[in-house]
């Protein structure tokens, strides 16, 4: 049967989701745990290949198994042997035609900026510590121009092929006390797309780029800002038709 999992992980000590030779990855740990429990080598297919240092609270993944007990029993067994920085939040049976990657119609990321002059050692593991004042309203105005179908090549490169057109369903920046949180949901993302968008929005927030100039970046008329570090980025949700978290 085919099972679908929602996975949460702290990406700090991983070299990303996808298996890499002699490197610690989320996919590698999941497949090792399945081998321990079922005795079979099982390939895990993720909805997205998060980079090194990127976290997830809603990563989707599927795998095929001959496990003959309820999915809940396998979920408990996996969580018992997985390392502390990975957990299976839910596990359900799906149709054999379902794909965690290709059946997804959107993915949503959140980037967190800790906007305070005094650094925070505990926060720094999951947010970008940024000491300069930020105008979150200007960042939000700029972010909303991302919504729609655009060529996002100014912000990233395609993981394969040459197509850089993606459709963004929502994008916004909000201030939550000392934090500025940026969320973007799209049908798919280019490599480093979110991190470069955030880097460019930071220029807007600190007054180094106007909202109109941000639009020029989107139109490939101006260079994008730098890519921000990975620790502030989290894959929060992958949406599928007919499936709820």
Q: Residue 242 above 90 pLDDT?
A: no
Indicate if 128 and 224 belong to the same structural domain. yes
pLDDT of residue 241: 82
Indicate if 149 and 173 belong to the same structural domain. yes
Q: How far apart are the two ends of the chain, measured CA to CA in Å?
A: 20
* Assigned domain for 84 exists: yes
Q: Is residue 161 exposed (0-12), middle (13-18) or buried (19+ Cβ within 10 Å)? A: exposed
* Assigned domain for 99 exists: no
pTM (2 d.p.): 0.94
Give me the number of domains the chain comprises. Answer: 2
Assign residue 18 the CATH number of its domain: 3.30.70.580
Choose the final residue of a domain: 45, 64, 94.
94
Write down the catalytic residue from 51, 84, 140, 151. 51
pLDDT of residue 244: 56
Instruction: Give the chain's mean pLDDT.
Output: 95
Q: How confident is the model at residue 4 (pLDDT cuts 50, 70, 90)?
A: very high
Indicate if 148 and 185 belong to the same structural domain. yes
Choose the final residue of a domain: 94, 129, 162.
94
Phi, psi of 24, deg, nearest 5: -80, 120
Instruction: Report the distance separating Cα 86 and Cα 96, nearest Å.
Output: 25
> Model confidence over 21-79: pLDDT tens digits?
889 999 999 999 999 999 999 999 999 889 999 999 999 999 999 988 999 999 999 99
The answer to whether 84 is a known catalytic residue is no
Indicate if 32 and 119 belong to the same structural domain. no
Indicate if 140 and 220 belong to the same structural domain. yes
Indicate if 141 and 233 belong to the same structural domain. yes
Average pLDDT over residues 164-193: 97
pLDDT of residue 222: 92
Indicate if 113 and 62 belong to the same structural domain. no
Indicate if 202 and 123 belong to the same structural domain. yes
Q: Is residue 15 exposed (0-12), middle (13-18) or buried (19+ Cβ within 10 Å)? A: middle
> Model confidence over 203-215: pLDDT tens digits?
999 999 999 999 9
Choose the final residue of a domain: 35, 65, 94.
94
Indicate if 229 and 120 belong to the same structural domain. yes
Q: Which residue has the higher pLDDT, 122 or 28?
A: 28
Q: Residue 245 above 70 pLDDT?
A: no
Assign residue 186 the CATH number of its domain: 3.30.70.660
Domain coverage including residue 16: 2-94
Q: How confident is the model at residue 243 (pLDDT cuts 50, 70, 90)?
A: confident
Give the DSSP letter string of 110-149. Answer: EEEEE--SS--TTGGGTSEE--S---HHHHHHHHGGG-EE
> Model confidence over 147-174: pLDDT tens digits?
999 999 999 999 888 899 999 999 999 9
């Amino acid at each position: 049967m085919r099972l679908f999992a929602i996975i949460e992980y702290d990406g700090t000590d991983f070299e990303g989701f996808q298996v890499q030779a002699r490197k610690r990855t989320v996919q590698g740990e999941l497949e090792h745990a399945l081998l321990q429990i079922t005795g079979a080598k099982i390939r895990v297919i993720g909805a997205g290949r998060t980079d090194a240092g990127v976290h997830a609270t809603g990563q989707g993944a599927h795998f095929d198994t001959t496990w003959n007990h309820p999915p809940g029993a396998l979920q408990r067994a996996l969580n018992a042997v997985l390392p502390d920085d990975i957990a299976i939040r839910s596990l359900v049976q799906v149709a054999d035609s379902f794909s965690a990657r290709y059946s997804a119609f959107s993915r949503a990321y959140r980037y967190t900026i800790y906007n305070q002059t005094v650094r925070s050692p505990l926060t720094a593991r999951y947010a970008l510590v940024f000491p300069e004042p930020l105008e979150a309203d200007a960042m939000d105005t700029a972010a909303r121009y991302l919504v729609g179908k655009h060529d996002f090549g100014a912000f990233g490169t395609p993981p394969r092929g040459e197509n850089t057109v993606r459709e963004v369903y929502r994008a916004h920046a909000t201030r939550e006390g000392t934090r500025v949180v940026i969320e973007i949901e799209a049908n798919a993302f280019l490599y480093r797309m979110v991190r470069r968008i955030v880097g460019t929005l930071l220029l807007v927030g600190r007054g180094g780029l106007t909202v109109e100039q941000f639009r020029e970046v989107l139109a490939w008329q101006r260079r994008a800002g730098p890519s921000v570090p990975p620790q502030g980025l989290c894959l929060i949700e992958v949406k599928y038709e007919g499936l709820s978290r």
